[in-house]
Homo-oligomer: A and B are copies of this chain.
Amino acid sequence: MSLDTAMSKPHEQLAATLSDDLTRVNAMIRARMASEHAPRIPEVTAHLIEAGGKRLRPMLTLASARMCGYDGPYHIHLAATVEFIHTATLLHDDVVDDSRQRRGRPTANLLWDNSSSVLVGDYLFARSFQLMVETGSLRVLDILANAAATIAEGEVLQLTAARDIATTEDIYLRVVRGKTAALFAAATRVGGVIAGVDEQVEQALFDYGDALGIAFQIVDDLLDYGGTDAIGKNIGDDFREGKLTLPVIRAIAAADDEERAFWVRTIGKGRVEEGDLDHALALMSRHGALASARATALDWSERAKAALGHCTEGPLRSMLHDLADYVVARVA
């Protein structure tokens, strides 16, 4: 049974609970992605931002701020900030990966060109810092500037680790923290920071976002080898691109000589033939690599939930708790 039908989706519960805030975030996003003189900017941004993303990251900021009792105006700016940073990285990632599809639609680099994706991403990144400045909080700027550096570093690391079958789980974790968890953790943390929480709660919010992001990305990497919720995903992309994700790293660690030669040829050298993806799946199954990666995702999900123990009880905390279950339920 799919868990999608077994329980109401926590991100939909969050969206319902935060609907007034989300309306304001969407209005701010639309206002700030405008450009009087360069209409290409809102065109490209709208294509991506209005393609039905779940607004997961801005919701994390809103939920965190509200859970911590914030009642000022700036969680809206920060939620829009986080969505802009996310959108900018998606635009750049699609150039880096030469992607043709995102969220079930053609990518901006395909519809327009790589140049537009690079420059509009830069624009959104600059806009995100303008929004942060408006909050008047140097702490928030510090946290999000650090997150932005970690994101870019993780992406470069992923680029240089591609096709390197010596990639370790440590490197994988660093890549995952960069490409996903850094923004999740900053999103939840800044919500607490503008609410004025103490150090322990701030750390708990960081830990929650960090663990949630890692769980989320491991699941995403598992779904690239098939799964129940693969809408908009192209199965086998990571395999063809030679990305060293957790199940592959574990299958390689357990490989005999013949299997190792297979990984060297496919992941290492990119010489992928008909039937190789199925064979890769069979090898991962044989060594329990998919199941063990799933267990690792579940473990991070548990850590995310445990971190919430330091936060104020209430419906928002329950939804964040359920969200940590939900992101791994996609492969449970």
Task: Give residues in A with beta carbon < 8 Å to B.
Answer: 35, 37-41, 89, 92, 95-96, 114-116, 118-123, 125-127, 129-130, 132-133, 136, 138, 141-142, 145-146, 148-149, 151-153, 155-157, 159-160, 171, 174
Contacts and interface: CB of A to CB of B under 8 A. Distances in A.
B119 A152 contact: yes
A136 B138 contact: yes
B35 A120 contact: no
A97 B35 CA distance: 22
Contacts of A157: 37-38
B129 A141 contact: yes
A149 B126 contact: yes
Residue in A92, A116, A153 with the greatest tally of chain B CB atoms within 10 Å:
A153
| A119, A129, A153, most chain B CB atoms within 10 A | A119
A321 B92 CA distance: 40
Report whether over half of chain A's contact residues are helix, strand or loop; otherwise say mixed: helix
A126 B92 CA distance: 14
Contacts of A133: 138, 141-142, 145
Contacts of A149: 123, 126-127, 130
B138 A152 contact: no
Closest 4 CB pairs of A and B: A126-B148, A123-B152, A126-B149, A129-B145
Contacts of A116: 156, 159
A155 to B, nearest CB: 5
A54 B199 CA distance: 44
A115 B95 contact: yes
